[in-house]
Amino acid sequence: MSKKITLATLTAEMRKGFASLEAKIEKIDARMERGFASVAEDIANLATKEQLIALHAQTVAIETELRDTKRHKLVTRVADLEDKVFGAPRR
């Protein structure tokens, strides 16, 4: 025997379906909000242009200091080798 579909049963089924759909949409909205908040936080944590310029200047200064230190060490090592090989530094 087939079940009769009445306007009341059809309305009740539609309401259940829409309620279920609304619950799913609310979960999706909440997840999207958390995602957007996370992205906003990541953007807020990015370095500014001025911070990057300052970091670049510090890096250049450090590289220059290292380069000068290496040159100084090289001169010292050559002088030490001259002492060892020739007995006295050559001038």
Place of tokens 């949409």: 25
Over the stretch 45-74, which tens digit does the pLDDT of each residue have?
888 889 999 999 999 999 999 888 888 888
Which residues constitute the domain of residue 74? 47-91
Give 87's DSSP letter: S
For residue 28, give the H/E element and its range: helix 7-44
42/14 same-domain check: yes
Q: How many domains does the chain have?
A: 2
60/23 same-domain check: no
68/38 same-domain check: no
Is 0.75 surpassed by the pTM of this model? no
CA-CA distance, 75 to 67, in Å (whole number)? 13
Q: Tokens in use for 13? A: 């089924």
58/21 same-domain check: no
Q: Which of 30, 46, 62 is the last residue of a domain?
A: 46
Amino acid at 52: L
51/41 same-domain check: no
**Which pLDDT score is estimated for 88?**
65
53/76 same-domain check: yes
